[in-house]
Amino acid sequence: MASPQASGRHQVSRAPAWTAHARSQRSAAAAPASHAKIWLAPRDRSGLEQLARAVSDPTSAAYGHHLSSAQYRARFAPTAGTVSAVTAWARSAGLRVDGVGSDDHFVAVSGSRSAVSSAFTANLGTFTLDGHTGTAPTSAVTVPDSIAGQVLAVTGLDTVTHWATPAQSRDRGTPSTSTASPSDLGPPPGFVNATPCSAYYGEKVDRRDPAFQGKHLPYSVCGYVPSQFRSAYGVTATQRTGRGETVAIIDAFAAPTIEQDANTYATRHGDNAFRRGQLTQSNDPADPTRVEDCGGNGWFGEETLDVEAVHGMAPNAGVAYYGAASCYDDDLLASLARVVHDNKASVISNSWGEPTYVVVDGVKTPTIDDALVQAYESVFLQGAVQGIGTYFSSGDDGDELANAGVLSPDWPAADPYVTAVGGTALAVDSRGRRQFETGWGTEKYTLVDNAWSSVGYLYGAGGGCSDLFAKPFYQRATRTGCDMRGVPDVAMDADPTTGMLVGETQVFDAHTKFGTGTQYGEYRIGGTSLAAPLFAGLQADVQQTRGRIGFANPLVYRLGRGGDAFHDVRPEGDAGNIRVDFVNGLNGDDGKVSTVRTFDQDSSLTTGRGWDDVTGVGSPTANYVIAASGR
């Protein structure tokens, strides 16, 4: 909330701390218009938090007694008077009011850079950080005293650090010579997995290359298909399909071929295509922005993975895709607010996130402030009281030290009102059984003088202890190794060498087994971007017979304390896999390269007995599906 400021103004947020250590640049003479969203405070925030806990806690008498959308609006949404006061001030300050968000969560405004700076008394500077250029306030963001009590945050002013990336493995190997630009919103550049690879774990073993740590390793799988995941995680045994439930998926932008691709993929691998109306896709708003900054069609692979993973785990569940206007916090959060307002989905899958800190000139500075947290949590809490569970991938950079220079779990996965999904390396045998499952954390080795030589840490499941959020009530009986929020909560398959085969329309600039030009093609992919929709789909299966769970963490930790609802993920199985790639990412014209990708070497994060910072309480079993459904 806003805090007192001189001259009839209240401070909503400070200038981002990193701006004090970064070098500002001279802005262009004709600076583009600035856009912002003024996030409004819910009525009775304390009461909203108490109700969210009560309806989510299995030990509470109010457990499961969720509100309808209308009941939420009547009790907690900002009043019409609040919206009127904020819009009137914005216009009087020289800003254009572009609209009001779902359930009056925000007022969208825009204006010239000078007008926006003046309205919020926040001088907007231009900065370049890690190759990304944008604007950020160099002074506190303020609003008049008259509306201070109604304003949570102002988003959109910092376009340097407040942007998210998909949590999928980044070594897909797309050729840099592709004519399909990532800044386009047409089909993305193509990629083809090389062989040998295995149809199930351990089918083929590499005996041509030197042994690794005294053993010849199996080739990576070609990519698991949904029936293998359903079998390994116990869904097949329960005969659940997610019927009657709807899972929402949020990413940036929207792939134009998603339904066609998902239906082709499903039918090729033994599942049913989407029924008419079972998959919906909407853009929010219809016109995307900041396409080049966000990587454009690079998000289409994320959407493809999310949709096909959810449909694979819950073939009869509805899937509602919401494409945010950009990858920036204010647009992604607006899409979250719309999902909660629509109240059609009971599960929200989010495979994106951002570091909570950045190091500038050797100084650790936060990118996430209390105002932004308050804005996000206003939506998370509404979802919780309405029986909507929000699930986030935990990230693909382990403890973030190598990526961001700071030990810290990703945001928003670290928020205590969401379920953070970590990652594993999953071995599925020829009969669809879990052969072993260990943590996802990869060190890469290449051949040098016919011996394996380490290239170093590559990627792994995000996790660790937050220094922003206190230990939530549902973790108090769990040993997390710290007194703060521990991440993640649960885990599913994420290792790219044990990843999922997905199908997507792509542009192939050379001859491939899929053809040349714009064609449907399939490739293996991983990351906690896979784990999150797998778990979201599984939650739809759970809810098929019990109805909405809502915020799942209190139930997850209750079931995770003893019993066999979760597989306790520990160091086990092989040291890793052999991955074979085409040098050019498309065909064998330029040869192939083999590398070792290890298991369970996730930066400073480790798997072990009980809760751990790679996999949380572990990965679900058939007993979880049964126990969580109350049957």
Contact status, residue 551 vs residue 417, Cβ threshold 8 Å: yes
Using the predicted structure, report yes or no on whether residue 284 has a pLDDT greater than 80.
no
What would the pLDDT profile of 466-499 be if each residue is shown by its tens digit? Answer: 999 999 999 999 999 999 999 999 999 999 999 9
pLDDT score for 33: 86
Alpha carbons 618 and 566: distance in angstroms, whole number: 5
pLDDT score for 179: 59
Cα torsion through 233, 298, 511, 307, rounded to 10: 30
Alpha carbons 62 and 418: distance in angstroms, whole number: 20
Q: Where are the beta strands (DSSP E) in 419-463?
A: 419-428, 434-439, 441-448, 451-460
Q: Residue 222: name the closest of 495, 521, 499 by CA.
A: 499
pLDDT score for 31: 67
Return mean pLDDT, the chain: 94
Contact status, residue 422 vs residue 394, Cβ threshold 8 Å: yes
The structure tokens listed for 154 are 């102002």
Q: Kindly state the average pLDDT of the residues 261-274.
A: 99
Contact status, residue 337 vs residue 77, Cβ threshold 8 Å: no
Using the predicted structure, report yes or no on whether residue 170 has a pLDDT greater than 60.
no
Q: Residue 500: name the closest of 216, 348, 330, 302 by CA.
A: 302
Q: What are phi and psi of 198, to 5 degrees?
A: -110, 145
pLDDT score for 50: 99
Alpha carbons 608 and 615: distance in angstroms, whole number: 9
pLDDT score for 3: 57
The structure tokens listed for 228 are 């293998």
Alpha carbons 595 and 452: distance in angstroms, whole number: 8
Q: Kindly state the average pLDDT of the residues 192-221.
A: 98
Using the predicted structure, report yes or no on whether residue 174 has a pLDDT greater than 50.
no
| Range of lowest pLDDT (59-63, 236-240, 295-299, 470-474) | 295-299
Using DSSP, state whether 399 is helix, strand or coil.
Answer: coil
In what side-by-side order are the strands of the sheet with 576-582? 451-460, 441-448, 592-598, 576-582
The structure tokens listed for 420 are 């953070």
User: What is the pLDDT confidence band of residue 176, given thresholds at 50, 70 and 90?
Assistant: very low
Q: Kindly state the average pLDDT of the residues 226-238.
A: 98
In what side-by-side order are the strands of the sheet with 124-129? 24-25, 124-129, 132-137
Alpha carbons 258 and 264: distance in angstroms, whole number: 10
What would the pLDDT profile of 113-130 be if each residue is shown by its tens digit? Answer: 999 999 999 999 999 888
Alpha carbons 395 and 412: distance in angstroms, whole number: 10
User: Which position has the higher pLDDT, 384 or 563?
Assistant: 384
Q: Kindly state the average pLDDT of the residues 23-42.
A: 82
Cis peptide before 285 (omega within 30 of 0): yes
What would the pLDDT profile of 500-545 be if each residue is shown by its tens digit? Answer: 999 999 999 999 999 999 999 999 999 999 999 999 999 999 999 9
Using DSSP, state whether 545 is helix, strand or coil.
Answer: coil
What would the pLDDT profile of 152-162 be if each residue is shown by its tens digit? Answer: 999 999 999 99
Alpha carbons 493 and 498: distance in angstroms, whole number: 7
Query: Model pTM?
Result: 0.96
Centre a 10 Å sphere on the Cβ of residue 43 and count the other Cβ atoms it contains: 15
pLDDT score for 22: 87
Q: What are phi and psi of 281, to 5 degrees?
A: -140, 130
Q: Where are the beta strands (DSSP E) in 471-536?
A: 484-487, 490-493, 500-508, 517-525
Using the predicted structure, report yes or no on whether residue 312 has a pLDDT greater than 60.
yes
The structure tokens listed for 614 are 């790679």
The amino acid at 431:
R
C-alpha separations of 423 from 458, 470, 491, 563 in Å: 14, 23, 5, 21
For domain 166-628, give the CATH superfamily: Peptidase S8/S53 domain (3.40.50.200)
What letter does residue 277 receive in the DSSP assignment?
T
What would the pLDDT profile of 130-158 be if each residue is shown by its tens digit? Answer: 888 899 999 999 999 999 999 999 999 99
407 exposure class (CB count in 10 Å sphere: 0-12, 13-18, 19+): middle
pLDDT score for 169: 56
Q: Kindly state the average pLDDT of the residues 607-616.
A: 98
Q: Kindly state the average pLDDT of the residues 351-356.
A: 95
Q: Where in the chain is the domain with CATH 3.40.50.200?
A: 166-628
What would the pLDDT profile of 399-443 be if each residue is shown by its tens digit? Answer: 999 988 899 999 999 999 999 999 999 999 999 999 999 999 999
Centre a 10 Å sphere on the Cβ of residue 74 and count the other Cβ atoms it contains: 11
pLDDT score for 30: 55
Contact status, residue 186 vs residue 180, Cβ threshold 8 Å: yes
Contact status, residue 138 vs residue 19, Cβ threshold 8 Å: yes
Alpha carbons 159 and 130: distance in angstroms, whole number: 13
Contact status, residue 482 vs residue 206, Cβ threshold 8 Å: no
Q: In this structure, are strands 619-620 and 451-460 parallel, antiparallel, or unpaired?
A: unpaired
Alpha carbons 579 and 85: distance in angstroms, whole number: 60
Using DSSP, state whether 522 is helix, strand or coil.
Answer: strand
Residue 239's contacts (CB-CB under 8 Å, 6 or more residues apart) are: none
The structure tokens listed for 9 are 């103004």
Residue 220's contacts (CB-CB under 8 Å, 6 or more residues apart) are: 197, 198, 496, 497, 498, 524, 577, 578, 579, 580, 597
pLDDT score for 172: 54
What letter does residue 594 receive in the DSSP assignment?
E
Sign of the Cα pseudo-torsion (158, 406, 164, 420, in order): negative
